[in-house]
Amino acid sequence: MTERPTPDPGMQGTSGISRRRLFGAVGAGAVLAGAGAVVGRVTAPDSENGTDGVVAFHGEHQAGIVTPAQDRMHFVTFDVTTRDRDKLIALLKTWTAMAARMTAGLEATEDGATGDGAYHPPSDTGEALDLDASQLTLTIGFGPTLFDDRFGLADLKPAALQDLPHFPADNLDPARCGGDIAIQACANDPQVAVHAIRNLARVAFGTASVRWSQLGFGRTSSTSTAQVTPRNLFGFKDGTNNLKAEDPAALAESVWVDGADDQAWLAGGSYLVARRIRMLIEQWDRAILREQEAVIGRDKREGAPLGLANEFDELDLESKGPDGPLVPETSHVRLASAQNLGGIRILRRGYNFTDGSDGFGHLDAGLFFIAFCRDPQKQFVPMQLALARADALNEYIQHVGSAVFACPPGPAEGGYWGQQLFEA
Amino acid sequence: MTERPTPDPGMQGTSGISRRRLFGAVGAGAVLAGAGAVVGRVTAPDSENGTDGVVAFHGEHQAGIVTPAQDRMHFVTFDVTTRDRDKLIALLKTWTAMAARMTAGLEATEDGATGDGAYHPPSDTGEALDLDASQLTLTIGFGPTLFDDRFGLADLKPAALQDLPHFPADNLDPARCGGDIAIQACANDPQVAVHAIRNLARVAFGTASVRWSQLGFGRTSSTSTAQVTPRNLFGFKDGTNNLKAEDPAALAESVWVDGADDQAWLAGGSYLVARRIRMLIEQWDRAILREQEAVIGRDKREGAPLGLANEFDELDLESKGPDGPLVPETSHVRLASAQNLGGIRILRRGYNFTDGSDGFGHLDAGLFFIAFCRDPQKQFVPMQLALARADALNEYIQHVGSAVFACPPGPAEGGYWGQQLFEA
């Protein structure tokens, strides 16, 4: 396969013209076509956020981190296949321009899904033509391998950006681990998320290729107090004690990297930890309710800490019943709690997945765990070590994929993803 | 693994009580829990049908065939692992009772997601507790292999229920083909569809095990004139000329099996053909628009037949331009058209899928084709032969999975899936 030059999408900011209107009447079949009013939308967003709206792309922080978690996700990692730093930067500029347009509900490029019709492939693949922005966010991260000797970035590697250690019982598939670059697409319409990743992967041809990707069909965390806590595939509410967008002090403490932390270019950024957690749902489904609740540490219906009444009642690790602690020593919520971990908190933003079957009569389903934190070595690693050692849930799950990325701060208007790094 | 008796979910018809209210306060943590009003729903359906409503489960025909296509799908096939006919019938009865409840928005069983808490696993896995019915439909089909010597059904095998022939360029993966039984779950919330399949698979333990399954994230067909035509991953509107629920004469002609056709038990049923079609989207994305439109035979924006103005303008195979037929001889819509096939039509009800990556830097994406027809040998087979031989689209797709099932008529109130077959 030969390389082709990365197209320049000619991004000039968003114009307010919708994706569908930019799609002009060009091409053999459209000669006789009239203005062609758009009839309606094919699939509507299903978020309780209740809007087809646009999430701002530019800003101090990248969108898709504290943005109220959208309902669907497509996550991809890339291997950079060139050693040419300028080509990589050109791709990042192209991606940024496309991402700014797509998150605004526009076609990926100015000439869009028609292009010239006769001489070049369309620069937008078209499957989102009738769809709204659906709160699409696109969030980029850089993996540890990007900071090797290829692109002159070694001195700019943040100390906290290290491959995660091997945790007890990890059963990682190398084909679901790592990547030089990750892009997380979240939207309330899955077709919008898939379209975005597909078009970004497409223009990367010759510069970066897809390493692995994951579709998530339903969010398992709330990142805003306005959202209802969703349930994971164990049937439990998940992420009740998650960090929320409405608590900027906690976000500053636990999510956003400070310029003084380490590398100045990462100020306002964050770290993304991804873990593909296969849930052994068939085993779980054979456990009695009391066992399930003891494993989690919350009741199933309401999601309250065991012994308490309401979901948002504060976890009390000292509470005791006749048989010992009401929240068992090996329960998931106890081990993962800030109280148990000396105040460690992370921002969870994961998704349920189902990827067919495993060939042994079981569904290949689970949780694609995503967390954002200020320092994975100081937050995720100790948390996961505590869980991997003692969590009763380990009988029912298996970590099969893993990756960590440094997510740069948000792009400025006219800037590009990672500019702070490449121009540091 | 040992077999366990199939639980009896004690189905007594739907009570109108919602899934969430049936979930009683049982279990260690719920002792102190109050009534626990439900705050809201986690994910709302996103259908243009605009309702969280219930699709009737019982009736002359199974739901999920001419039901306006929901937005999301989970499809599964099973291998029956017992040779005990009574056990199989017991499973079908259990499934029917659970399906009737779940499609009504209830928990899978009467005791639901709590059960007795202490002695038995919950009989509903709980992840749909806060969710509405979301227009869930569950549709069962029986594969050719079910009619072998195991269950005394050989004499009742419909003549049209034969494995599909090998078509030119088929590249089938045996792990994505066939199955004794198929269940199609469609809903506007994917978590509702996944929950249904997962709970049905769960109670099958010891009687049937999952052979393969497929998640579809977005519908690619309309089955009602009230629906907008969606787009497939080639960016084209798909299924414009599909059969529609509003045309009962055409459905009687092309979808519903007549008692006089063959086996009386199948009267009011239909055949389901499933094909997992991998789309080579990276190749496609490198084709110019005119090539794409010539391959399909329609323009990309509007979806009109080439040379015409509007999506629903009737395909005119005789139309000529200066360079020959406006709708090329090898175009997909020409070859698949009723005009070209002596009037053959089918009801398409497929879904876009994305299943991660293929390990070669490409997304594993495509169309999970589902079609319902009255006789696959007389409808699907000649259509697919015409396409497999000459369709220009073959350069960009690959059929990697295949299966065919006979879908019995709808269950009567108090009856069970396949009763007409097993009591024939």
CA distances from A233 to A13, A285, A350, B253 (A): 40, 10, 12, 42
Cα of A261 to nearest chain B Cα, Å: 35
A46 vs B73: CA distance, rounded Å: 15
**CB contact (8 A) between residue B215 and residue A287:** no
- Reading the block at residue B81, the tokens are 């692992």
Closest CA to B235 of A108, A58, A357: A108
Cross-strand pairs, A53: none
Report yes or no: A306 and A297 within 8 Å, Cβ to Cβ: yes
**CB contact (8 A) between residue B233 and residue A125:** yes
Q: Which comes out higher in pLDDT, residue A93 or A10?
A: A93
CA distances from A206 to A52, B240, B301 (A): 34, 36, 29
Q: Which comes out higher in pLDDT, residue A133 or A43?
A: A133
* Packed helices A190-203 and A85-103: angle between N→C axes, nearest 10 degrees: 160
B383 vs B345: CA distance, rounded Å: 9
CA distances from B419 to A184, B13, B222 (A): 47, 17, 30
B38 vs B20: CA distance, rounded Å: 8
CB count in 10 Å sphere of residue A389: 13
Nearest CA in chain B to A174: B359
Q: Which amino acid is at A3?
A: E
List B residues 39-68 in contact with A (Cβ-Cβ < 8 A): 39-48
Residues 6+ apart with CB under 8 A from A299: A293, A306, B27, B28, B29, B30, B33
Considering only CB atoms, which chain A residues are within 8 Å of B309?
A: 32-34
Q: What is the complex's ipTM, to 2 decimals?
A: 0.88
Cα of A260 to nearest chain B Cα, Å: 37
pLDDT at residue A22 is higher than 70: no
* Minimum-distance CB partner of A114 among B43, B189, B301: B301
A72 vs A190: CA distance, rounded Å: 5
B190 touches chain A (CB under 8 A): yes
CA distances from A98 to A11, A81, A127 (A): 7, 20, 15
B229 vs B220: CA distance, rounded Å: 8
Q: Which comes out higher in pLDDT, residue B34 or A352?
A: A352
Q: Which amino acid is at B373?
A: C
pLDDT at A14: 34
Report yes or no: A399 and A276 within 8 Å, Cβ to Cβ: yes
Considering only CB atoms, which chain B residues are within 8 Å of A117?
A: 288-290
- Reading the block at residue B90, the tokens are 């017991």
pLDDT at residue A40 is higher than 60: no
Own/partner pairs for B304-312, CB < 8 Å, 24+ apart?
Answer: B304/A29, B304/A30, B304/A32, B304/A33, B305/A29, B305/B333, B306/A28, B306/A29, B306/B331, B307/A29, B307/A31, B307/A32, B308/A29, B308/A32, B309/A32, B309/A33, B309/A34, B310/A33, B310/A34, B310/A36, B311/B229, B311/B237, B311/B240, B312/B240
The pLDDT confidence band at residue A118, using thresholds 50, 70 and 90, is: confident
Question: Average pLDDT of chain A?
Answer: 88
Instruction: Report the run of H or E that residue B281 belongs to, with start and end.
Output: helix B281-284
pLDDT at A48: 41
Cα of A224 to nearest chain B Cα, Å: 13
List A residues 94-113 in contact with B (Cβ-Cβ < 8 A): 113
Rounded mean pLDDT for each run of 10 residues along chain B, 424 residues in total: 38 38 34 28 36 87 97 98 98 98 94 77 92 96 98 97 96 97 97 97 95 96 93 95 95 96 95 98 93 96 95 95 94 96 97 92 94 98 97 97 98 96 96
Cα of B229 to nearest chain A Cα, Å: 7
* Minimum-distance CB partner of A217 among B211, B215, B285: B215
List B residues 295-314 in contact with A (Cβ-Cβ < 8 A): 298-302, 304-310
B197 touches chain A (CB under 8 A): yes
* Minimum-distance CB partner of B43 among A44, A218, A359: A218
If you search the block for the tokens 């010239």, which residue do you land on? A116
**CB contact (8 A) between residue B129 and residue A231:** yes
The tens digit of pLDDT for each residue in A151-170 reads 999 999 999 999 999 999 99
Least confident window among A2-6, A113-117, A343-347: A2-6
pLDDT at A16: 37
Q: What distance lies between CA A406 and its chain's CA centroid?
A: 13
Considering only CB atoms, which chain A residues are within 8 Å of B34?
A: 309-310
Question: pTM of the predicted model, to two decimals?
Answer: 0.89
- Reading the block at residue A144, the tokens are 């540890």
pLDDT at B198: 96
pLDDT at A52: 63
B283 touches chain A (CB under 8 A): no
Cα of B249 to nearest chain A Cα, Å: 27
The tens digit of pLDDT for each residue in A296-311 reads 999 999 999 999 999 9
Cα of A311 to nearest chain B Cα, Å: 9
A392 touches chain B (CB under 8 A): no
Closest CA to B420 of B103, B89, B6: B89
Considering only CB atoms, which chain B residues are within 8 Å of A130?
A: 228, 230-231
Interface test with A, best of B20, B23, B43 (most A CBs within 10 A): B43
B224 touches chain A (CB under 8 A): no
**What SS3 string covers A220-266?**
CCCCCCCCCCCECCCCCECCCCCCCCCCHHHHHHHCCCCCCCCCHHH
